[in-house]
Structure 1
Amino acid sequence: MENKNKSILIVLGHPNPNSYCAKLAETYLESAKDSGFEVNLLKLKDLQFDYNLNFGYDKSVKQELEPDILLSQSLILKADHLVFVYPSWWASMPALLKAWIDRVFLPGFAFAYQKHSPFPKQFLRGKTARIIITMDAPTWYYKWFNRSPGVQILKHGTLEFCGVGKVKVTYLDQIRFKKQKQLEKWIETIKQLGAKGK
């Protein structure tokens, strides 16, 4: 039996509120709620924040954290499971999602560098994640020719780097060629993931 006390945060990285990604995120949200999970949905397009990490990690200059960045951090800390929904654009991710990651996953919040080690202190340990990525390319092409750059960045370079474990990926490929029947079938797949909180 699934743990109904689990808290889930869905991060929608597509800027278009009418996108297929938006429908996937809303489907997961409603299904997880119906199953009794505590669920929050962050629509990144609705957040107000400076997209630039203006001074990098320079500690001598402080960049203020906007309310929506602080909200994002609090929801991440609260969540047991993180779900990212976004399209593959140029084999990576929308600028909106990358900017949010830059501003939110900061040293002192998500990780801390260690003086004599290449490995960081990981502050997001104990959490799990699911990446739901849509693309026009076939999955095999994205994995073997492009080498999954967007997934590599988010899964390994960000989430696992900060301690998130068991990061699973759902690939929904060749979107522009799919008929409505297949798109609806994928909606059902996401509904099942939401129902199980996976």
Structure 2
Amino acid sequence: MKVVIVFNHPYDGSFCNAILQAALKGLQRASHEIDLIHLDKDNFNPIMTSADLKAFRDKKPVDPKVIEYKERLEKADHLVFIFPIWWELMPALMKGFVDKVIFPGVMYDYTNAGNTLMQPLMPNIKSVTMITTMNTPKWLYWSLFGNAIKKAMMLGTFWKMGYKNRKWISFNQVKMVTQEKRQQWLSQIEHKFSSLN
């Protein structure tokens, strides 16, 4: 299986990076093919320029990085996102990836004249997994902050485009839990990806 991981965290010592390493270890143990898109190390530009907005209208991306990412995503069977939740949302690079790569003519197209119904353009992608970290308690994120990432990514992006096999793994209160708990989470991630099929 070809797995494309889209990763966004600038600090190598972060728990997000530990999650990435655990996922890579599990995938390697299962002999899956891995393509890591590391947005920070790629110096990805998240800003939608006027040229990008015209490209959105024309359904033809112009950013060379976006064109490269499109070609890499076209070879994926499974798509994984790993990023922290800061101030209840994703960091700027991940938001820019959504804006500029999950794009009409790239990841989806409209099926009606009113541009309200969508269909995925990458049937090769059979499933999407999103892994996030945050310090907010899960119940508080859901009840007070409205589960913003679920609404934006799992529903407002991938459900809307018609990707049916979606999973979100949320690690909450990361700074507050013990090192043993964090290690347990990493073992779970490694096991999950070693048994991915």
TM-score by structure 1 length?
A: 0.88
Structure 1 outlier segments of 4+, above 3 Å: none
Cα contact 2:4–2:78 (8 A) shared by 1: yes
Q: Which residue among 37, 41, 49 is the counterpart of 1:42?
A: 37
The one-letter amino acid paired with 1:92 is L
Paired position in structure 1 for 2:180 = 181
Q: Which residue among 116, 121, 124 is the counterpart of 2:122?
A: 124
- Mapped to 1, the partners of 2:61 and 2:34 lie a distance apart of 30
Cα contact 1:136–1:174 (8 A) shared by 2: yes
Tell me how many residue pairs correspond in the alignment: 191
SS in 2 for 1:132: strand
Judged with a 3 Å threshold, the aligned counterparts in structure 2 of structure 1 residues 105 and 129 are, in CA distance, closer, same or farther, namely: same
Cα contact 1:122–1:161 (8 A) shared by 2: no
1:9 aligns with 2:4: yes
Range with greater deviation from structure 2 (37-46 or 114-123): 114-123
The Cα of 1:33 is off from its aligned counterpart by 1.2
SS in 1 for 2:117: strand
The Cα of 1:63 is off from its aligned counterpart by 6.1
Paired position in structure 1 for 2:96 = 99
The Cα of 1:124 is off from its aligned counterpart by 3.0
Q: Structure 1: give runs of 5+ residues left out of the alignment.
A: 1-5
Matching of residues 16-55 of structure 1 within 5 Å: 16-55=11-50
CA RMSD of the aligned region, Å? 2.0
Cα contact 1:124–1:163 (8 A) shared by 2: no
Judged with a 3 Å threshold, the aligned counterparts in structure 2 of structure 1 residues 154 and 91 are, in CA distance, closer, same or farther, namely: same
The Cα of 1:161 is off from its aligned counterpart by 2.5
Cα contact 2:137–2:173 (8 A) shared by 1: yes
Q: Deviations over 1:12-54 (max 9, x none)?
A: 1222222110110121012111111111211110123432222
- Mapped to 2, the partners of 1:58 and 1:95 lie a distance apart of 22
Cα contact 1:122–1:162 (8 A) shared by 2: yes
The one-letter amino acid paired with 1:120 is M
SS in 2 for 1:71: helix
- Mapped to 2, the partners of 1:13 and 1:157 lie a distance apart of 20
Paired position in structure 1 for 2:150 = 151
Q: Deviations over 1:118-156 (max 9, x none)?
A: 212321345201111111011111122212112221111
The Cα of 1:8 is off from its aligned counterpart by 0.9
Cα contact 2:61–2:67 (8 A) shared by 1: no
Paired position in structure 1 for 2:137 = 138
Q: Structure 2: give runs of 5+ residues left out of the alignment.
A: none
SS in 2 for 1:21: helix
1:112 aligns with 2:109: yes
The Cα of 1:96 is off from its aligned counterpart by 1.0
Identity percentage of aligned residues:
25
Paired position in structure 1 for 2:86 = 89
SS in 2 for 1:168: strand
The Cα of 1:69 is off from its aligned counterpart by 2.1
